[in-house]
Structure 1
Amino acid sequence: MATPRRTQQERRDQAEAALLAAAAELVVEYGVRSLTLARVGERAGYSRGIVTHHFGGKQALVERLARTVQAGFVPGLGDVPPGLDRLLRLIDGYLGQLARIGRSNQAFLLLWAESATQPDLAAIFRERDDAFRADLREDIEAGIAGGEIDPGARPADVAIAVVGQLRGIALQRLLDPGGVDVERVRGSVTGYWRRALGAAFTA
């Protein structure tokens, strides 16, 4: 039986996935400064022209990589309504993913760290962090409205603290995998936020 021919969109999606995977590998192996469209194409088995066709330039490639990785970092939350439960699931899931961190997630964290000193990356990761904090604020605001979270909690402040903690643990894990037991830490961190945000109701 003949194998069904792939559609043009399927071929495009496959090529894009391969190019993003190649870009992530190169960032982890050589750093973002060494990332070029030609090297990405060579690693993925495509011409530089194909890379340019898909992304236009290095900046767009890095932005797509950041968006794609962040969107899929903690799966299974799409059907969970905003509130304390979703917030705690996100925290627990984020840390759980660090136990099996792949090249794409490693690349995201390396790019995020470098964005502090590289203006071309800074805009991308400011936007990514702002989107992350916005999701967290939505959960906190919903939790306050639903009576699950201490009404004295400040959503913007809590969101900044959560992002800072998760990113900080992730970088420690990246630098010293053997020294950061994320399976143990995830329970402590999730429990901390459960107690901290519900403190007014358990005091």
Structure 2
Amino acid sequence: MATIRRTQQERRDQAEAALLAAAAELVVEQGVRSLTLARVGERAGYSRGIVTHHFGAKQALIERLARTTQAGFVPGLDELPPGLDRLLRLIDGYLGELGRLGVFNQAFLLLWAEAATQPDLAPIFRERDAAFRADLRADVEAGIAAGVIDPGLEPDDVAIAVVGQLRGIALQRLLDPRGVDVEQVRRSVTGYWRRTLGPAQAPTS
């Protein structure tokens, strides 16, 4: 049988994926403070030199890990136009994913929590949160323009509240999996935002 030779880019991509997976595992098992390039290489079966070649330094590795773990948490959103339906799909999908948190998602939440007290992490996660809020703000603005979201709501305030609630629930789930009924919370929270965001009803006489 002919041997299929991988291209240099394919080998590079495979090595990078293995290194990021190893870094996520170490963060979940031992925390970000224990993360070193040497330990990541050892866990992934590569030398420290390979890790340095791919990422240069620990800060760049963590930044890439943050971007990788955040991307695509709720699948299918890119297919929807901005607006109320997309916003509710994001909330519902985010909470649904908490029932099957993989190592990358766990690593992201732990890194996000650490960013509050770690100056090296803070800029990375401020950027990620700002992008998340901007995405939500665009949904609220589009919903207001379409007449399906209460125009009296402030899009920035809604975005901050949604991010805070979703991340807070996720951290509770990570800390106490048995104490958070994901499906029950999912129904309650999604329903809450559907009612809260809807157009204000005129008072009856």
Report the TM range for the smaller structure's normalisation: over 0.9
The answer for the alignment partner of 2:62 in structure 1 is 62
**Structure 1 CA distance, aligned partners of 2:189 and 2:9?**
42
CA contact (8 A) 1:37 1:48 kept: yes
The answer on 1:79 being equivalent to 2:82 is no
User: Which residues of 2 match residues 20-169 of structure 1 at below 5 A?
Assistant: 20-169=20-169
Q: How many residues align?
A: 203
Question: Tell me, which stretches of 5 or more residues in structure 1 are unaligned?
Answer: none
CA contact (8 A) 1:84 1:139 kept: yes
Q: Partner letter of residue 175 of structure 2?
A: L
Q: What's the offset of the Cα at 1:5?
A: 1.5
TM-score, normalization by structure 1: 0.97
**Structure 2 CA distance, aligned partners of 1:201 and 1:23?**
50
Q: What's the offset of the Cα at 1:183?
A: 1.3
Question: Tell me, which stretches of 5 or more residues in structure 2 are unaligned?
Answer: none
Deviations 1:98-148 (A, max 9, x none): 100011111111111111111001111111110100100011111111111
CA-atom RMSD, angstroms? 1.2
Q: Partner letter of residue 26 of structure 2?
A: L
**Structure 2 CA distance, aligned partners of 1:48 and 1:101?**
29
Deviations 1:23-56 (A, max 9, x none): 0000011110010000000000111111111111
Does the residue aligned with 1:200 lie in a helix, a strand or coil? coil
Q: What's the offset of the Cα at 1:4?
A: 2.1
CA contact (8 A) 1:41 1:50 kept: yes
**Structure 2 CA distance, aligned partners of 1:10 and 1:148?**
46
**Structure 2 CA distance, aligned partners of 1:129 and 1:39?**
28
**Structure 2 CA distance, aligned partners of 1:62 and 1:113?**
14
CA contact (8 A) 1:140 1:149 kept: yes
